[in-house]
Amino acid sequence: MKTIMIVLILMLVGCAGHLTPSQMAAGDYGELSPNYKEAIKEHMQTLFYDPEAARYRYVKDPVKGYAYVPNESPQLEFGYIVEAHINAKNRLGAYTGEDIYTFLVKNDTAWMLHWWTTSGTVSDGASTVMADTATKKSK
């Protein structure tokens, strides 16, 4: 029974990969708000011990993309993929080192993408599925 469940899950994950050019063209990407960095900080507020001391660094420009956002039932969302390098403090007050987080941002909403989240970027009508979309050390 476990084997059947694992095969079914893998089949579902495999179906959630590349999008067709018509799906990408029809996608509602919304606007990249000038406040997208604040939306990411607001999303991360409850995840850090001292959220006000967290240091955010954005290395790459946001790019159009899509992801099956992690909700109760994952649904396909279009928006902008943003990579943030975040250095936060632990309970002892020391910085733990930068971790890389990936977000999908649409209008003023940000979703953190996990390593198991199927997502990709869109450029010139082609879709690139991202492998590990987010990494995080245990703190």
Looking at per-residue pLDDT, the higher value among 21 and 4 belongs to 21
pLDDT tens figures, 26-53: 889 998 999 999 999 999 999 999 999 9
Whether the pLDDT of residue 119 is over 60: the answer is yes
Instruction: Round the average pLDDT of the chain to a whole number and report it.
Output: 81
Which is more confident, 42 or 8?
42
What does DSSP assign to residue 70? -
Specify the 3-state DSSP secondary structure of 77.
strand
68 Cβ neighbours under 8 A, 6+ residues apart: 16, 74, 75, 76, 77, 117, 118, 119
At 8, the pLDDT band (50, 70, 90 cuts) reads very low
pTM (predicted TM-score): 0.74
Q: 88-105 burial, b for 16+ CB within 10 Å, e for fewer?
A: bbeeeeeeeeeebbbbbb
